[in-house]
Amino acid sequence: MTVRERTEEIERMTLSPYASLSENSRGREKPEEECPVRTCYQRDRDRVIHCKAFRRLKQKTQVFLSPEGDHYRTRLTHTLEVSQIARTIARALRLNEDLTEAIALAHDLGHTPFGHAGERALNRLCPGGFKHYEQSVRVVTRLEKGGKGLNLTWEVRNGIVCHTKGAWAATREGQIVRYADHIAYMNHDIEDAVEAGVLRNEDLPKEITRVLGDTKSRRITTMICSMIDHGAETIGMDSEVAGAYEALHDFMYSTVYVDRVAKREEKKVDKLIEELYNYFREHPTHMPQDYLYIVWNEGADRAVTDYISGMSDEYATRTFEELFVPQKWHVL
């Protein structure tokens, strides 16, 4: 018996009847020989961690564009917090923690530079629109490894595309990640907003803090415990906590996410993304070689969208400056 087979046996013996067992995966688009050490979901997690798109998350905006200070979240730190929350819930419910972690780590790989401001700009420019969760699937199936993709399992890809809205994931592990994503970003965005002077802790409605708690830690703990108590058969929270969770969501979208201080730079994002899009649309050969293959096979709009959405905030800004901002004359 290999190490992987022993792990699969342990899953059968210890996980909930509602868990997604590794040995029952629907598999990959391209069949592969099984690893003797890792289960299919462990391999997926490792492939995500080692891919280029994952590394670029460290320089992609979460909420505040290019904040000055070391303690604001980036898309990478958000991803790690989602993973931690999701794994805690999955472990407590005896669901497949490896599958949960793989989905959580990959869920935002296709996110644009400059957060949702960049996503809105590309959605306006790209024929057919742009959704970061769909782009995340494209990253792992088409763009990584020089166009070969990561060849992840069906369950991970399903969890990625269903992590934010619309249809729920087919697995309970994927459903947990959807909750964990919301739990993470609402609470860490509160902390970042307080740090930025956009919000005060006392501004949070008392009817919300009474149920969820008056600190980030207490709120996260309350929601995690509610999901655990709710059980694995149907992923969710009890009605009181769920109501407060929805009220907190509405509060954040009516205050922090529309605050003029937090959003005053976003009009510049529209201009930057549009100028880059139009430039590379007209000069596709100025993109790296990998994207020229996409131009030939799927058209310039698709290639330019892939290229820009993969940029970090810093790289997008630097590229814009090189193309459109006059440079100082250097005397040799």
- Nearest CA-CA partner of 131 in 309, 313, 317, 279: 309
Of the pLDDT bands very low, low, confident and very high (cuts 50, 70, 90), residue 100 is very high
Q: Which long-range contacts (CB under 8 A, 24 or more apart) does 118-126 make?
A: 118/61, 118/269, 118/273, 118/309, 118/316, 120/270, 121/269, 121/270, 121/273, 121/274, 122/273, 122/277, 122/305, 122/308, 122/309, 124/270, 125/273, 125/274, 125/277, 125/305, 126/301, 126/305
pLDDT of residue 71: 45
Please name every residue paired with 74 in a beta bridge, in sequence order, or none if there are none. Answer: 61
Of 54-58, 74-78, 207-211, the one with minimum mean pLDDT is 74-78
Of the pLDDT bands very low, low, confident and very high (cuts 50, 70, 90), residue 72 is low
- Nearest CA-CA partner of 277 in 319, 326, 325, 322: 319
Which tens digits make up the pLDDT trace of 157-179? 999 999 998 999 999 999 999 99
Residue given tokens 């742009």 in the structure block: 130
d(CA 65, CA 305): 20
CA distances from 258 to 111, 185, 251 (A): 20, 15, 11
pLDDT of residue 263: 65
213 backbone φψ class: left, alpha, beta (φ>0; ψ -120 to 50):
left
Q: Does the pLDDT at position 213 exceed 90? A: yes
CA distances from 243 to 184, 209, 294 (A): 17, 12, 45
pLDDT of residue 327: 78
The half-sphere exposure of 193 on its side-chain side, counting CA atoms within 13 A, is 27
d(CA 278, CA 76): 28
pLDDT of residue 189: 85
Residue with the larger pLDDT of the pair 331 and 295: 295
How many C-beta neighbours within 10 Å does residue 41 have? 26
Mean of per-residue pLDDT scores for the chain: 93
How many C-beta neighbours within 10 Å does residue 237 have? 22
The full length of the chain comes to 332
Which tens digits make up the pLDDT trace of 17-52? 999 999 999 999 999 999 999 999 999 999 999 999
Could you report how far apart the first and last alpha carbons of the chain are, in Å? 68
Average pLDDT over residues 209-222: 96
In this structure, CATH architecture of domain 38-202+262-310 = Orthogonal Bundle (1.10)
- CB-based burial label for 57 (10 Å; 0-12, 13-18, 19+): buried
Contact (CB, 8 A) for 93 and 234: no
d(CA 130, CA 180): 23
pLDDT of residue 260: 67
The model scores a pTM over 0.85: yes
**Percent of the chain predicted with pLDDT > 70:** 93
pLDDT of residue 37: 98
Residue with the larger pLDDT of the pair 297 and 73: 297
- The angle that helices 97-106 and 40-49 make with each other, rounded to 10 degrees, is 30
- CB-based burial label for 165 (10 Å; 0-12, 13-18, 19+): exposed
- The angle that helices 97-106 and 75-92 make with each other, rounded to 10 degrees, is 160
Average pLDDT over residues 303-316: 96
pLDDT of residue 215: 94
Within 8 A by CB and 6+ apart from 249, the residues are: 182, 186
d(CA 279, CA 195): 37
